[in-house]
Structure 1
Amino acid sequence: MAHTPSELIVLIAGPTASGKSAAALRLADALDGEIVNADAMQVYRDLRTLTARPDEAEEAQAPHHLYGVLDGAERCSAGRWARLAARVIDEIRGRGRVPIVVGGTGLYFKALTEGLSPMPDVPEDIRGQGNRLFDAVGAAAFRQAVLSRDPGMAHLEENDRQRLIRAWEVHEATGTPLSAWQGQPREAVVSGEFRPAVLQPPRDALYARCDQRLEQMLQRDALNEVRALLARKLDPSLPVMKSLGVPEFAAHLAGELPLDEALALAQQNTRRFAKRQMTWFRGQEPGWPVFETADDLVEDLLSASS
Structure 2
Amino acid sequence: MSVATSGIENSGTSEGRIKNATLIAGPTASGKSALALKLAERDGGVIVNADSMQVYDVLSVLTARPGTDDLRRARHFLYGHVSPATAYSTGTWLRDVAVLADSGLFDDRPPIFVGGTGLYFRALAEGISEMPEIPTEIRDRWRWRLNEEGAPRLHRLLMRVDSEVAMRLKASDGQRIVRALEVLEASGRSILKWQADRGHPMIDLATARFIVIEPERDLLVKRIDLRFDRMLDNGALDEVKAITAMRLAPELPAMKAIGVRELAAAIAGETSFDEAIERAKIATRQYAKRQSTWFRNQFGPEWQRIGGEAGRADETAAT
Tell me the percent identity.
Answer: 44
Three-state SS of the structure 1 residue aligned to 2:106 is: helix
Higher mean C-alpha deviation, range 234-243 or range 102-111: 234-243
Q: Higher RCO, 1 or 2 (CA under 8 Å, sep at least 6)? A: 2
In structure 2, list runs of 5 or more residues that go unmatched: 1-17, 314-319
Aligned to 1:185: 198
Three-state SS of the structure 1 residue aligned to 2:284 is: helix
Three-state SS of the structure 2 residue aligned to 1:27 is: helix
The TM-score, its normalising length taken from structure 2, stands at 0.85
Aligned to 2:8: none
**Alignment-mate amino acid for residue 270 of structure 1:** T
Q: Is the 8 A contact 1:143 1:164 kept in 2?
A: yes
- Deviation string, structure 1 residues 96-152 (Cα, Å, up to 9, x no partner): 121000001111111111112121012222223333433454444433432443304
Three-state SS of the structure 1 residue aligned to 2:208 is: strand
Aligned to 1:46: 58
RMSD: 2.2
- Deviation string, structure 1 residues 55-99 (Cα, Å, up to 9, x no partner): 0001101111111112222221101101111332453322x1210
Higher mean C-alpha deviation, range 163-172 or range 282-291: 282-291
Aligned to 2:6: none
1:108-257 → structure 2 map (5 Å cutoff): 108-150=120-162, 151-191=164-204, 193-257=207-271
Q: Is the 8 A contact 1:291 1:297 kept in 2?
A: no
Q: Count matched residues.
A: 292
Q: Is the 8 A contact 2:21 2:203 kept in 1?
A: no
Return the offset for 1:153: 4.9
Return the offset for 1:253: 1.2
Alpha-carbon distance change, 225 to 159 in structure 1, aligned in 2, over 3 angstroms: same
Aligned to 2:114: 102
Q: Which has the higher helix share?
A: 1
Distance between the aligned counterparts of 1:293 and 1:269, measured in 2? 20
The TM-score, its normalising length taken from structure 1, stands at 0.88
Alpha-carbon distance change, 142 to 279 in structure 1, aligned in 2, over 3 angstroms: farther
Higher mean C-alpha deviation, range 124-133 or range 221-230: 124-133
Aligned to 1:266: 280
**Alignment-mate amino acid for residue 168 of structure 1:** L
Three-state SS of the structure 2 residue aligned to 1:264 is: helix
